[in-house]
Structure 1
């Protein structure tokens, strides 16, 4: 097994933006270029913490171990393919999505890659339920944590509580949008943890440790936490470990985009962790909040596409958007500072320009 210090798939500027301080293994999707509900594999954002492993399907093994299992076991792809196959349409969103907005709102950047709102995507993930895999090794009563570990160069790992690990839609994915997992997205097997931060969906899965006690790692105690003046430390963590992602809307416009005058359709997407979006409201310039049109499908744990019609005068304009979910959560006007720049979900705003066609 070797490791590659970058991203394998082509990264045309038409589809991707490199976030500042993002490193060679991070790239975000230009949402304005998405053609439909699902994010095509070749347009899906990439977030990797370490160099990417080059693995052969024939040699891959998944090791199951820990004091909450009746026995240790090693499984290969053939073993997994004997289990019931399931498919889920779910979002994967980096906890740092929209991190660049902290610099805009607070006058200083939070640590980490300065993502816009494109560190998110929705795909159909196909594979097997994690609970069916754990059952092969005899899951004992009293299991508390499952710690998945990747085969990347740094062995990225982040624990799950047992109830989330056993959920219907927590799966080991072997395919993405009907194709074998691309190498950048975890080939040959990755976790997909519905509604949680993207870091929970460990790529290049190689090991599962199941324990009766906490299996904390750096990635849920010193990073991927909400830490700062408004977030007191919890247990071994420097703040509050992040689990479910908050309600958030995205606008499918590049900052400072230029649009021709006349009737225009503006579009966006909205999601809410494990929940379902029930409304998206928009405000143009200093106008009143109005309801955007939601389109099908609207899948809990994924996203909904929305749109609005407008006819604006030439000049600079601002569109604001806020989403509400089925649990009553709505995007706030402001968010509190956190040191790691995670879970930004204040009202989304984009400034754009309408150009007078007659001046051409």
Structure 2
């Protein structure tokens, strides 16, 4: 796809957008989006995913503050910190015109996806954004490799962490190690699915960190700090960490920091689903973070596990589409799906419990009621 810059209009400097009293800009109709109740966070309905790429109008939104208004004409991206020899700044035009562009198809998923179902699994609700299954999406991201923006600043030999920072009200930020920042597919994106980034998805520029939790892909970039020392912020010490008896504190962090995501699967049906007693093709997605999805299996009620057909390329950092045929009998059924990645990690029977309800990855019993055929 070729990105177009002509559709984007901005006014003001860096302020919240008041769009009919909402914290987000784009429409979030209930027929395609799931409302978490926060006013900022909306998932995509799994039964409204038409292709490998998630349409921009229904790509999930996860924000810590209202979508800011950023004026591209005055916007700059600064690279600075103890890990560079000379700070540099880039304009919006610099990113469009001075650097080679790359396009990568990558999946982004919130670490709290399926938190509501995780709560049902353990018998108590978790605090945090009340995600069902829709905090995940895949897009083609076009922009500049992060390393191409870091190199002109001169990275010092002792540099170890890179921390992007957003221009939202709370300046969301989260460090990543230098080697992940330097990866071929860590991109400062300017466009999404062939069009300039929409406001809710990070205009004028956002980071895309392949295979990691969505919190690493900071939106509305304004600053990138390169540090020779470890960097600690709320997003890697008290949030987006695993907290509980099985997870000891690590320095100032309350538990291990979440980075790459585990393998999990998704059925493209409502929850619960209602079908007719006639031949069906059941479809879904599976995602394995930095790894490749190698196998997807399904099970109807207490029947045997069977292989589903994977219908898209298996690429690290990208979900796959799978499907199978089913001729259901009338009645109540439980549909289970499990995925396995190329490192032989398979979805477990139970998720690992933690205080914040992150990383729900266990096999779900998807309820399906089958009505008699007409």
TM over 0.5: yes
Is the Cα contact below 8 Å between 2:172 and 2:218 reproduced in 1? Answer: yes
Q: CA deviation at 1:319?
A: 0.4
Q: Counterpart of 2:82?
A: 67
Matches within 5 A, 1:173-322: 173-322=189-338
Which residue is equivalent to 1:37? 52
RMSD, aligned α-carbons: 1.0
Where does structure 1 differ by over 3 angstroms across 4 or more consecutive aligned residues? none
CA distance in 2, matches of 1:319, 1:137: 53
CA contact under 8 A between 1:316 and 1:352: conserved in structure 2?
yes
1:131 to 129, 147, 152: 147
Determine if contact 1:102/1:341 at 8 Å carries over to the other structure.
yes
Give CA deviations for 1:29-56 in whole Å, capped at 9, x if unaligned: 0021111100000010000001211012
- Displacement of 1:130 in angstroms is 0.4
Contact 2:42 2:61 in 1 (8 A): yes
Structure 2 residue aligned with 1:9, among 26, 36, 52?
26
Q: CA deviation at 1:299?
A: 2.3
- The C-alpha deviation readout for 1:103-144, integer Å capped at 9, x for no partner, is 211111122112111100000000000000001211111111
TM-score, with normalisation over the residues of structure 2?
0.93
**SS across alignment from 1:79:** helix
- Equivalent positions of 1:9-158 (< 5 A) are 9-19=26-36, 22-81=37-96, 82-158=98-174
Q: How far apart, CA to CA, are the structure 2 residues paired with 1:189 and 1:251?
A: 32
Match for residue 325 of structure 1?
Answer: 341
Q: C-alpha deviations, 1:286-312, integer Å up to 9, x for none?
A: 111110010023222011000110111
Unaligned runs of 5+ in 2: 1-13
User: Mean alpha-carbon deviation: is it higher for 56-65 or for 33-42?
Assistant: 56-65
- Which blocks of at least 5 consecutive residues in structure 1 are unaligned? none
Distance (whole Å) between structure 2 residues aligned to residue 142 and residue 183 of structure 1: 36
C-alpha distance in 2 between matches for 1:321 and 1:304: 13
Query: What do residues 304-352 of structure 1 show as CA deviations (whole Å, max 9, x unaligned)?
Result: 0001101111111110011000111110000221011111100132101
- 8 Å contact kept, 2:332–2:368: yes
Question: The residue matched to 1:342 in structure 2 has which SS?
Answer: coil
Q: How many residue pairs end up in the alignment?
A: 356
Work out the CA distance in 2 between the residues paired with 1:256 and 1:197.
27
